[in-house]
């Protein structure tokens, strides 16, 4: 059983081990060698796992997931059904556990036994995440590992015939309950769909399978002088990134994922294949179906191929860090830099005093080389030609003197550049690594118009302070987007309620400021109610109608974004 434990540990400890070994993060696209190792260990473990599972169990199915009946499923379904009262369609009707297992066996008979697993640890890993808060009780009955669009078609056709929910899974780094399986079903893991299908350097695009990791891709094409600029979790896959419309620190300069997706191949819930468009950089041919699937969180279909636009790598980059007496002063300086400094920054990130203290005490050796001021700190990235960067640095340094008297720390070598940016990149892992036993991390993100950023961060921090919650703020301040990470004990009802209320207050506040309840982490399960508050019933109803048109049996990733009408 050693292999099983290894797999379980790997997945459970992924976060924690990452923080201890963390890493080499290069300033321009955060290529962490150790993360790559984690990923290949992980994939190797997956192979080993599947292999031994097959040897040990042959064709007999190994059932040991937490049992729960159709009754509970339906109860959950009705309970979460807080949306429209429209009764145009009846409630979705899903197969029971044994029907789901029949479907799984049918898939195995069509694709091969080595494409599927029922192993408890694997199911657990695919249904639960330490990153997040709203882990649902449900687990898939099986995880399938397709290799191609055709494999995915087979899976979809069988699930459609047997009325079985399908939940796509990339790297599982998303944080809003997205890939969890409240209605059970079959989990479709794309990690073996990890091929680069075609690279067109002259057209500045690349066609990939959804399981390709963005850092692997960038390493592979680096020699061409091109790169895919979105930088979410180092583990994330292109399929997951498309489906959450992700971003990252580079978004200030490069926009979000939606700007980089040219064309998608998607398998719909009935097994049909849709190609959203062709490859040229622009088109005005018909409805924009690409954008229908970007950010859909796997609720409309399974993305099986992606054509990504690529950007030229900047000739040079540099970074700087500077701290401020208060978060308000830091945010004010940030908005000055964006609006009035005349410098186009590549990235502008903020970390609060709590997060800086955590880094000083628990950061990796790289980060602790430097003694950080335990004050709100801005991290700036510059890119372009070396000359332009030098003049930008000077201009920014001069303009910041009216906001802070703290030193403006710049990098004089590439190593220093890497070390400074590592502090920002390691923030989340470091937070996770100090999580006290028995507590969970609740991480949430909202975005507001720039002019309101200082105010909302300030209010949210003081509210957490009053509640006695350990909370840190990390933000993509250049986009008016910030994250709050809070620790709480899930067994402490009172504390859990407080944290939930603080999050609710934060999203309500963001909406009052004309902001959004999710800047980049998407909706999943956790923010369904907030999405409704943000968009209103008519908009949600249109989304529901669109989903019903594409997915009439409501099989794709049910329970996410919004409920069945």
Ligand X SMILES: *[C@@H]1O[C@H](CO)[C@@H](O)[C@H](O)[C@H]1NC(C)=O
Ligand Y SMILES: Cc1cc2nc3c(=O)[nH]c(=O)nc-3n(C[C@H](O)[C@H](O)[C@H](O)COP(=O)(O)OP(=O)(O)OC[C@H]3O[C@@H](n4cnc5c(N)ncnc54)[C@H](O)[C@@H]3O)c2cc1C
The length of the chain, given as a count of residues: 565
**Which of ligand Y, ligand X, none does 500 bind, CB closer than 5 to 8 A by kind?**
none
Nearer to ligand Y, 266 or 456 (CB): 266
Region of 161-169, 227-235, 290-298, 329-337 interacting with ligand X (CB under 6 A): 290-298
Q: Under a CB-based contact definition with an 8 Å cutoff, are residues 185 and 169 in contact?
A: no
Q: Which of 467, 535, 546, 548 binds ligand X (CB under 6 A)?
A: 467
Q: Which of 102, 113, 259, 316 binds ligand X (CB under 6 A)?
A: 259
Q: Which of 305, 353, 392, 426 binds ligand X (CB under 6 A)?
A: 305
Least distance from C-beta 428 to ligand X, angstroms? 14
Which residues partner with 265 through β-bridges?
A: 275, 305
Place of tokens 């507590």: 439
CA distance 139 to 137: 7
**Which of ligand Y, ligand X, none does 305 bind, CB closer than 5 to 8 A by kind?**
ligand X
- Contact residues for 217 (Cβ-Cβ < 8 A; gap 6+): 196, 206, 208, 228, 238
Q: Which of 48, 505, 529, 533 binds ligand X (CB under 6 A)?
A: 505
CA distance 356 to 375: 7
Q: Which of 26, 32, 84, 129 binds ligand X (CB under 6 A)?
A: 129
Q: Under a CB-based contact definition with an 8 Å cutoff, are residues 135 and 176 in contact?
A: no
**Which of ligand Y, ligand X, none does 427 bind, CB closer than 5 to 8 A by kind?**
none
Nearer to ligand X, 323 or 440 (CB): 440
**Which of ligand X, ligand Y, none does 236 bind, CB closer than 5 to 8 A by kind?**
ligand Y
Region of 65-73, 129-137, 355-363, 366-374 interacting with ligand X (CB under 6 A): 129-137
CA atoms 138, 547, 273, 285: torsion sign: negative
Q: Using N-to-C axis directions, what is the helix angle for 493-512 and 528-535, rounded to 10°? A: 20
Rule CB under 6 A: which of 154-173 touch ligand X? none
Nearer to ligand X, 463 or 551 (CB): 463
Q: Is 34 in the site for ligand X (CB under 6 A)?
A: no
DSSP string, 403-463: T--S--EE-SSHHHHHHHHHHHHTHHHHHHHTPPTT-EEEEEEEE--GGGHHHHHHHHHHH
Q: In angstroms, what CA-CA distances link 515 with 52, 449, 481?
A: 50, 6, 9
Least distance from C-beta 522 to ligand X, angstroms? 9
Which residues partner with 384 through β-bridges?
A: 316
DSSP string, 283-351: ---SS-HHHHHTT-TTSS-EEEEEEEE-EEPPSEEEEEEEE-SSHHHHHHHHHHHHHTS----SEEEEE
Pairing mode, strands 166-169 and 186-189: parallel
Q: Which of 108, 206, 454, 525 binds ligand X (CB under 6 A)?
A: 525
Rule CB under 6 A: which of 132-151 touch ligand X? 132-135
CA distance 289 to 305: 14
408 by Cβ neighbours in 10 Å (0-12 / 13-18 / 19+) ranks as: middle
CA distance 452 to 459: 11
Q: Is 526 in the site for ligand X (CB under 6 A)?
A: yes
Nearer to ligand Y, 269 or 463 (CB): 269
Q: Is 176 in the site for ligand X (CB under 6 A)?
A: yes
CA distance 347 to 381: 5
Least distance from C-beta 123 to ligand X, angstroms? 12
Among candidate residues 310, 113, 313, the one with its CA nearest the CA of residue 196: 310
**Which of ligand X, ligand Y, none does 290 bind, CB closer than 5 to 8 A by kind?**
ligand X
CA atoms 380, 295, 310, 282: torsion sign: negative
**Which of ligand Y, ligand X, none does 259 bind, CB closer than 5 to 8 A by kind?**
ligand X
Among candidate residues 413, 405, 414, 411, the one with its CA nearest the CA of residue 380: 411
Nearer to ligand Y, 247 or 495 (CB): 247
**Which of ligand Y, ligand X, none does 363 bind, CB closer than 5 to 8 A by kind?**
none
Q: Is 178 in the site for ligand X (CB under 6 A)?
A: yes
User: What is the contact mask toward ligand X in residues 193 to 222, using x (rule: CB under 6 A)?
Assistant: --------------x---------------
# binding residues, ligand X (CB under 6 A): 41
Q: Is 65 in the site for ligand X (CB under 6 A)?
A: no
Nearer to ligand Y, 392 or 426 (CB): 426
**Which of ligand X, ligand Y, none does 176 bind, CB closer than 5 to 8 A by kind?**
ligand X
Q: Which of 182, 524, 558, 565 binds ligand X (CB under 6 A)?
A: 524
Rule CB under 6 A: which of 260-289 touch ligand X? 261, 263-265, 275, 278-279, 284, 288
CA distance 103 to 186: 9
292 by Cβ neighbours in 10 Å (0-12 / 13-18 / 19+) ranks as: middle
280 by Cβ neighbours in 10 Å (0-12 / 13-18 / 19+) ranks as: exposed
Q: Is 235 in the site for ligand X (CB under 6 A)?
A: no
Q: Which residues of the chain form contacts with ligand Y (CB under 6 A)?
A: 131, 167-175, 178-179, 190, 210, 232-233, 236-237, 239-241, 243-244, 246-248, 297-298, 302-303, 428, 520-521, 557
- Contact residues for 398 (Cβ-Cβ < 8 A; gap 6+): none
Least distance from C-beta 447 to ligand Y, angstroms? 11
Q: Which of 463, 486, 513, 532 binds ligand X (CB under 6 A)?
A: 463
Q: Is 478 in the site for ligand X (CB under 6 A)?
A: no
Which residues partner with 168 through β-bridges?
A: 188
Least distance from C-beta 56 to ligand Y, angstroms? 27
Residue least distant from ligand Y (Cβ): 240
Nearer to ligand Y, 400 or 522 (CB): 522
Positions that interact with ligand X (CB under 6 A): 128-129, 132-135, 175-178, 180, 207, 245, 256, 258-259, 261, 263-265, 275, 278-279, 284, 288, 290-291, 294-295, 305-307, 463, 467, 498, 501-502, 505, 524-526
């Amino acid at each position: 059983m050693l292999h099983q434990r290894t797999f379980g540990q790997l997945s459970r400890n992924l976060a924690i081990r990452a923080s201890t070994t963390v890493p080499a993060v290069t300033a321009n696209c955060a290529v962490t060698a150790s993360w790559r190792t984690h990923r290949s260990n992980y994939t190797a473990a997956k192979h080993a796992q599947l292999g031994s599972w097959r040897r040990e169990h042959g064709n007999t199915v190994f059932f040991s997931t937490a049992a729960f009946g159709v009754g509970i499923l339906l109860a959950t379904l009705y309970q979460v059904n807080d949306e429209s009262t429209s009764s145009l369609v009846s409630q979705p009707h899903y197969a029971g556990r044994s029907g789901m297992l029949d479907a799984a066996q049918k898939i195995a008979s069509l694709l091969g036994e080595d494409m599927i697993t029922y192993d408890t640890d694997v199911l657990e890993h695919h249904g639960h995440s330490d990153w997040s808060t709203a882990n649902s009780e449900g687990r898939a009955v099986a995880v399938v590992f397709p290799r191609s669009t055709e494999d995915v078609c087979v899976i979809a056709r069988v699930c459609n015939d047997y009325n079985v929910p399908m939940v796509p899974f990339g790297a599982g780094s998303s944080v809003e309950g997205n890939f969890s399986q409240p209605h059970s079903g079959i989990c479709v893991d794309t990690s073996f769909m990890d091929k680069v299908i075609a690279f067109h350097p002259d057209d500045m695009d690349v066609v990939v399978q959804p399981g390709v990791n963005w850092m692997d891709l960038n390493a592979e094409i680096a020699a061409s002088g091109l790169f895919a600029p979105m930088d979410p979790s180092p583990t994330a896959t292109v399929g997951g990134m498309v489906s959450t419309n992700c971003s990252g620190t580079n978004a200030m300069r490069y926009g979000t994922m939606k700007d980089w997706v040219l064309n998608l191949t998607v398998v719909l819930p009935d097994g049909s294949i849709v190609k959203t468009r062709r490859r040229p950089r622009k088109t005005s041919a018909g409805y924009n179906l690409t954008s229908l699937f970007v950010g859909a969180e796997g609720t409309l279909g399974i993305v099986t191929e992606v054509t990504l636009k690529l950007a030229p790598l900047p000739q040079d980059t540099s970074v700087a860090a500077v701290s401020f007496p208060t978060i308000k002063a830091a945010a004010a300086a940030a908005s000055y830099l964006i609006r009035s400094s005349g410098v186009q920054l590549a990235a502008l990130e903020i970390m609060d005093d709590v997060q800086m203290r955590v880094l000083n005490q628990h950061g990796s050796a790289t980060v602790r080389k430097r003694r950080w001021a335990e004050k709100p700190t801005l991290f700036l990235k510059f890119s372009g030609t070396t000359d332009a960067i030098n003049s930008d640095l000077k201009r920014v340094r001069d303009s910041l003197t009216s906001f802070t008297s703290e030193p403006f720390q710049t990098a004089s070598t590439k190593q220093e550049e890497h070390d400074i940016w590592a502090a920002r990149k390691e923030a989340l892992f470091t937070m996770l690594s100090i999580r006290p036993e028995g507590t969970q991390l609740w991480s949430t993100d909202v975005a507001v118009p720039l002019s309101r950023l200082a105010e909302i961060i300030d209010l949210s921090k003081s509210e957490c302070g009053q509640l006695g919650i350990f909370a840190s703020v990390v933000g993509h301040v250049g986009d008016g987007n910030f994250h709050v990470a809070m620790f709480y004990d899930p067994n402490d009802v009172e504390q859990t309620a407080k944290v939930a209320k603080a999050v609710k207050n934060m999203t309500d506040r963001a909406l009052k400021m004309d902001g959004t309840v999710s800047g980049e982490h998407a909706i999943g399960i956790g923010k369904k109610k907030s999405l409704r508050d943000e968009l209103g019933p008519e908009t949600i109803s249109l989304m529901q109608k669109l989903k019903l048109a594409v997915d009439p049996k409501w099989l794709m990733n049910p329970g996410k974004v919004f409920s069945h009408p």
